[in-house]
Structure 1
Amino acid sequence: MIKFAIRADGGSKIGMGHIMRTLVLAKELAKTNDVFYICKVNNPLSDKYKPGIDKIKAEGFDVICINENNILEELEKINADCLITDSYDVDENYFMQTKHLFYKTGYFDDMNLYYFDVDFIINQNINAEDFKYNVNNDTKLMLGCKYLMLREEFRNVLKKHTHKKVHNIMITVGGADPSNITGEILSWVKDLEYTFHVVIGPSFNSEYKLEKLRNEKVKLYYNADMYQIMKKCDMAISGCGSTLYELAVCGVPTIGIVIADNQKAIACRMHEKEIIINAGICNQLEKYSFTEHIENMSNNYNLRKNMSLKGSELIDNKGIGRILSIIESI
């Protein structure tokens, strides 16, 4: 039995993406290994980190908390065989130091910013194979949608039927929404003739504003069952993080919004492959062009059907199995 430590954080500023994708791997590793998490904390503990810690504990994993200002010193005290990091709070020194502290190390990457002194890298994004990674000769690279780790409920999805008329549209921007993009979108679309199914992430800090917009055409979901909402909806408006891949698997035609820098290239590639319509960067959106995207997609049955088909063909359900085989062979 191997002892795995997973270092990841989630909260009001950075969202929940690092937590959610590592949990997919953690659950599979935990079937035959010992798995626990390492999370940064501030003093006093705030929404900067608390939602991530709460989610991990709710999924049944132990959490070791480390001081956000002394990460490497704190990691020296950790007893584990393998450290897997999913965080942007790293640099080349971090990878070199942790390589000496643990028997094996791995990293979830999106940006290819450093020389990575690790045993394996996982980049499951659609553009991952474009990167020329600077790594050791024996570093295992798991790149592209072939290694996409789907949550269990998304692994055997039935083919979606494309309706001639759009009735239900999902809105999801991620685990956090510090700029209240969700509220702005709702203010633009509230007069359109659709029912909007709005996902409220665990790190949202302006739910009270959204509650004022709730009515029979605007449904709000806390602790959302994402698969059930996707199954119900004819279209989606989504941030361009990991949710895009789940929408693709479910065959939901999507208007993508770039929420963070690491989503730009993903949105462009998904648009090129006609899996999404890339509406652009969130703080540059305009009401008229955005609602036009919605109406154009809604009124074009063949476009939606084609997007649904291409999305559902992008990913198989074997990514997590491929990753486990490689990690266990290192």
Structure 2
Amino acid sequence: MIVFRVDSSTLIGSGHLMRCLTLAKQLKKTKQAEIAFISRDLAGNLNHFIESNGYRLLLLPRAASVEELTGYEQWLTVRQDVDAGQTKQFLQGLVVEYLIIDSYGFDKTWEDIVRPYVNKIMVIDDLANRKHNCDILLDQNYYCEPEHRYAGLVPSHCKLLLGPQYALLREEFYEARKKMRIRDGTVKNILIFFGGSDLTNETMKALQALEALQRTDIQVNVIVGASNNNKENIEAYCLQHDHIHYFCQVNNMAELMNEADFAIGAGGTATWERCFLSLPAIVITIAENQVEIAENCKRIGVIEYLGQHEMVTCKMIENVSKLFIQDCARVKNIEKNMEALLMNEKPANIFVF
């Protein structure tokens, strides 16, 4: 059996869960593995997606009271040793070949507690800021010197899967790439997507920036997640404009990306989804862990990075959007840089276990 330990919530967002569901689908297909998910009952969770995809859900209880927690333990709503103890209770009744962990709230302390109850541990990470007790570590992001990134943080026997060639992309993106349209640099369609939660409402900021352009001839597709607390206001705004179209919790993201001429969005997994479909993007980081990745991507010219959300204004988005619309060569250059990166980072087989 393969067990995933991952959470989703209004605070965490949906990205960690969605990439685990992507990996689970491939493991079920290639390994015919029995798969279960251990997830906590957090506010705004998307745990129903686990069961709707046909996987067993083992639910950790909602915390009775919120303790004084710091850092990413706030995401867990309990101390990590408490979480590990509760997780252990589920693992004791299973025969677990692999435990796959995707949470910034866990480190070696958590993994040491559950280690006796599983054969091997895989960690999905991109922070490289803490020690792990794991056999495989996957970091799908682009860094200048990835080989040194986890030095001293993982055991010597740990297999490192580093770089965009290991990006966890859903099957729809591979299908979309086969019929990817050739963009000529002109802008007729813009996509806005800031992840599942978008706690700081960057979606509305981007909408207001585009409205200032007064380009009703350009179609705008707006995607929000089910856990977005502002989704009703965003939908109401979109309904007031004939050229703006609202979508919530879509299952055809690749298709909508393929239709777009450029995107406005956050960092994270969406970076590699856009890159895989050669979709230029104006990027605003909405979490601290996205900043280094965005800066590295800006350095090699695969995104137009504006900065962290609190520093980015509607006017900044408006100005760069105007440049994208007016300067076809600028957009095409980003597209070429994406293709060059893909040539250097060819998709690899991550299902090596």
**TM, length-normalised to structure 2:** 0.85
Distance 1:129 1:281 in 2: 27
Unaligned segments of structure 2, at least 5 residues: 64-77
Segment of structure 1 superposing worse, 146-155 or 107-116 = 146-155
Distance 2:201 2:185 in 1: 32
Structure 1 residues 139, 280: CA separation in 2 closer, same or farther (over 3 Å shift)? same
Given residue 4 of structure 1, which amino acid in structure 2 is its aligned partner? I
Structure 2 SS opposite 1:245 = helix
Given residue 34 of structure 2, which amino acid in structure 1 is its aligned partner? D
Segment of structure 1 superposing worse, 132-141 or 246-255 = 132-141
Segment of structure 1 superposing worse, 94-103 or 275-284 = 94-103
Q: Which residue of 1 aligns with 2:223?
A: 199
Matches within 5 A, 1:25-44: 25-31=23-29, 32-42=32-42
* 2:80 matches 1:61: no
Task: Choose which of 130, 138, 161 in structure 2 pairs with 1:142.
Answer: 161
User: How far did 1:318 drift?
Assistant: 6.6
Given residue 222 of structure 2, which amino acid in structure 1 is its aligned partner? V
Distance 2:111 2:202 in 1: 35
* 2:106 matches 1:106: no
User: How far did 1:129 drift?
Assistant: 4.2
Distance 1:181 1:129 in 2: 34
* 2:299 matches 1:272: yes
Structure 2 SS opposite 1:155 = helix
User: How far did 1:184 drift?
Assistant: 2.1
* 2:206 matches 1:185: yes
* 2:237 matches 1:213: yes
Distance 1:23 1:313 in 2: 29
Distance 1:131 1:22 in 2: 22
Please say if residues 170 and 230 of structure 1, whose CA atoms lie closer than 8 Å, have aligned partners that are also in contact: yes
Given residue 108 of structure 2, which amino acid in structure 1 is its aligned partner? E
* 2:88 matches 1:94: no
User: How far did 1:252 drift?
Assistant: 1.0
Count residues with an aligned counterpart.
Answer: 317
* 2:145 matches 1:118: no
Given residue 72 of structure 1, which amino acid in structure 2 is its aligned partner? A
Q: Describe the superposition over 1:156-189 as per-residue Cα deviations: whole angstroms up to 9, x where unpaired.
A: 4044422342111000000111222211221222
Distance 1:111 1:322 in 2: 22
* 2:192 matches 1:171: yes
Unaligned segments of structure 1, at least 5 residues: none
Please say if residues 100 and 123 of structure 2, whose CA atoms lie closer than 8 Å, have aligned partners that are also in contact: yes
Distance 2:305 2:281 in 1: 9
Structure 1 SS opposite 2:351 = helix
Q: Which residue of 2 aligns with 1:76?
A: 88
Distance 1:173 1:114 in 2: 27
Q: Quote the sequence identity (%).
A: 25
